[in-house]
Amino acid sequence: MIADLAHSWLTFSPPVAAARTARRPLVALESTIIAHGMPYPENVRTAREVEALVRDLGAEPATIALIGGRIRIGLSDDELELLGSSDQVHKVSRRDLPAVLASGGLGATTVAGTMICAALAGIEVFVTGGIGGVHRHAQETFDISADLQELAKTSVAVVCAGAKSILDIGLTLEYLETHGVPVLSCEQDNFAAFYTRDSGYRADFRLDDPADQARFICTKWDLGLAGGVVLSTPVPEAAAMPSEEIDALTRQALAEATTQGITGKDVTPFLLARIKALTSGRSLATNIALIKHNAEVGTRLALALANSQRGADEA
C-alpha cells in the first residue's frame, strides 16, 4: 500500500513510458548537475548531449526532476531548459523531497534524491558526475553528504567518476566500507577523483566488463543485500586535470567558502563554480567530458543488466 502511494507521485515522459512497455533498459540521470552543477547554457546543451549518447547506445535516458508537484521520470526539451535557466530551482535530497513535492516547487535531484526516485521507478542504473561524501574537516563540521547513507539503503547502481576531489576521499571510502557499500572500478584499479583520474585509493574490486559488473550487482541483490553499488570510472585522460593543481585550487576555494560563511548543501555548488573561475573554464570542460564518459559506462551496464535478466527469464 505504501509503495503504491509512493508510485502515485511519479509521472513518466512518453519516451520513458514507451521504453518501459517495450522493456528497454532505462538509465537514470540527475538534474542537480543541470541546475546547480554547470552554468547556462552549457548545462542544458550537455544534458541533451548526454541523453542523445544514451539513446545512441541503445537505452532510454530518464532525467529526473520535481516539477509541479510530481516526480518527473524523463524530461522534455522545454523542461530541461526550465531547469537549466531558472534561478528558482531547489536542490533536492532525501529530506527535501516531501517539502518540494507538497509545495509544487521546481526541484533538481541530488545523487540521493535521484536514487530514491529511480528506485521508485524501477530503474537500476543511475549515472552522475561524482558522488558526494565526507567533506574535509568533517570531524569539526559533521558535514557528510546524504548520498552515502542513500547508497547504504537504496538498491541502485551509481556510475560516477569517483568522488569529487573537494572531499576527503579516504574518509568517504571508509564510510562506504562501514555501511557495506561495494565500490567497483573499471578501467583502472584505483578509485577516481572527479577532475583527476586517480584518487590514490584502491577500489574494492576492479571489473572492466559490463557483463561482469552486472553479474556482481545481480548477485548482491539476489542475496537480499539491499543497498547501492558504486561503479567508478576515471575521466578520459585527455580531459583530466593535474591533481596538484586541483588540490591547490580546492584549498583556496574552501578557504573562501569558510570566509564567506558558506555551509551545508551550498558548499559544493560554490566550490565547483569557484574552481571553474580559477581555471578559466577548464574544469567545466573536464566535468562535461567525465559525465559523457560515465554515461557510456552506465548505459553499457544497463544493457548488460537487461541481458542478464532476459537470460534468467528465458531459463
Q: What is the dihedral of CA 173, 211, 161, 137, to 10 degrees?
A: -10
Cis peptide preceding 14, ω within 30 of 0: no
The single residue of 30, 51, 60, 79 carrying the catalytic annotation is 30
Provide the sign of the torsion angle of the four alpha carbons 253, 29, 264, 41, taken in this order: positive
Catalytic status, residue 30: yes
What's the rounded Cα separation, in Å, for the pair 58 and 9?
Answer: 27
CATH of domain 2-310: 3.40.1790.10
Closest to 293 in 3D by CA, of 128, 115, 64: 128
Domain boundaries, the chain: 2-310
Predicted pLDDT at 141: 66
Cell numbers describing residue 251:
584549498
Return the number of other C-beta atoms located less than 10 Å from residue 8's C-beta: 10
Asked if 163 contacts 193 with a C-beta cutoff of 8 angstroms, the reply is yes
Q: How far is CA 126 from the centre of its chain?
A: 6
What's the rounded Cα separation, in Å, for the pair 240 and 306?
Answer: 31
Predicted pLDDT at 7: 83
Amino acid, single-letter form, for residue 183: V
Predicted pLDDT at 1: 43
Predicted pLDDT at 5: 64
pLDDT tens, residue by residue, 76-93: 999 999 999 999 999 999
Residue reference for cell 521546481? 106
Query: Could you tell me the mean pLDDT of each successive run of 10 residues in the chain, 315 residues long?
Result: 70 98 97 92 97 98 98 97 96 96 97 97 97 80 87 98 88 96 98 95 98 98 97 97 89 88 79 85 92 98 90 56
Angle between helix 282-314 and helix 267-278 axes, rounded to 10 deg: 130
What's the rounded Cα separation, in Å, for the pair 298 and 208?
Answer: 12
Predicted pLDDT at 74: 98
The single residue of 51, 60, 81, 164 carrying the catalytic annotation is 164
